[in-house]
Amino acid sequence: MHSIFKILRAKTVTFILLSLVIGCSPERQQTQKSIQQTPTETQNTNLPKNVDSKASKITRSNYSLGEAIAIKQNNTQVQMIVNKSWEHQGKGIIKPNPGQKWIAVDTTLTNQGKEPQTFSIVSFVLEDNQKNQYEVALIANALDDVEPPTGTILPDEEVQGEVVFEVPQNAAGLQLIFQPDLACEPLNEEQKATQPENCQQIAVKLD
């Protein structure tokens, strides 16, 4: 009987030692490490899913030539009227590039707020029916018969002038896009999550 107890005790000790070895083995430690990392990995996958959702803050309203457009957003309060558009032929040796044409757009901006408002040519782009966008043609806007409606406008004052764009000869369905708030992302860049609330684009069909 005494020998049986010795055998059982020896097996028990052996089992305990094996359990300790297995528990301290690299595979076991790796498994425990993986389990411990699981909450961290889960936390990383719970990053905000709406990181780019603020891009949808930019809205676009559509208008026609000659329509008085009252714009109120953030700290901007202005009335805009797109009076007319035409093809500018250039002057002297200053002309559009081959295969291109210049489109001039006459616009009136009136400050209806209580503070001075400042507008830049980067607030304007031209867009065709293929969603291609064209920036203001700087060389055309430097002509002496072109005066952009930009700069600082005092309360109750208005500025009328032209912005000129270079587009392909076959460009069609053109519309002027105006984004009055300079705090918003430039029109021709990817809209980012850092934009303020209520960024608005005004689209005016030119034909």
Q: Convert the pLDDT of each residue in 33-89 to its tens digit.
A: 333 433 333 333 222 223 233 344 578 889 999 999 999 877 789 999 999 999 999
H or E segment and range at residue 13: helix 2-23
Shared-domain flag, residues 71 and 20: no
Output the pLDDT for position 200: 80
Q: Contact, 204 vs 64, CB < 8 A?
A: yes
Shared-domain flag, residues 166 and 195: yes
Shared-domain flag, residues 28 and 117: no
Shared-domain flag, residues 159 and 181: yes
Q: What is the CATH number of the domain that holds 71?
A: 2.60.40.1240
C-alpha to C-alpha distance for 122 and 110, rounded to whole angstroms: 18
C-alpha to C-alpha distance for 18 and 170, rounded to whole angstroms: 83
Shared-domain flag, residues 12 and 63: no
More reliable by pLDDT, 203 or 19: 203
Shared-domain flag, residues 86 and 40: no
Output the pLDDT for position 72: 87
The string of pLDDT tens digits covering residues 136-195 is: 999 999 899 999 999 999 999 999 999 999 999 999 999 999 988 766 665 555 554 555
Shared-domain flag, residues 108 and 33: no
Residue 17's pLDDT band (cuts 50, 70, 90): very low
Shared-domain flag, residues 149 and 121: yes
More reliable by pLDDT, 170 or 9: 170
Output the pLDDT for position 186: 55
Q: Contact, 149 vs 119, CB < 8 A?
A: yes
Domain assignment of residue 61, given as a range? 53-205
Domains held by the chain: number:
2
Which residue, chain included where needed, has tokens 């064209």? Answer: 134
C-alpha to C-alpha distance for 56 and 33, rounded to whole angstroms: 42
Output the pLDDT for position 164: 96
Shared-domain flag, residues 95 and 166: yes
Q: Contact, 163 vs 169, CB < 8 A?
A: no
Shared-domain flag, residues 158 and 177: yes
Shared-domain flag, residues 34 and 63: no
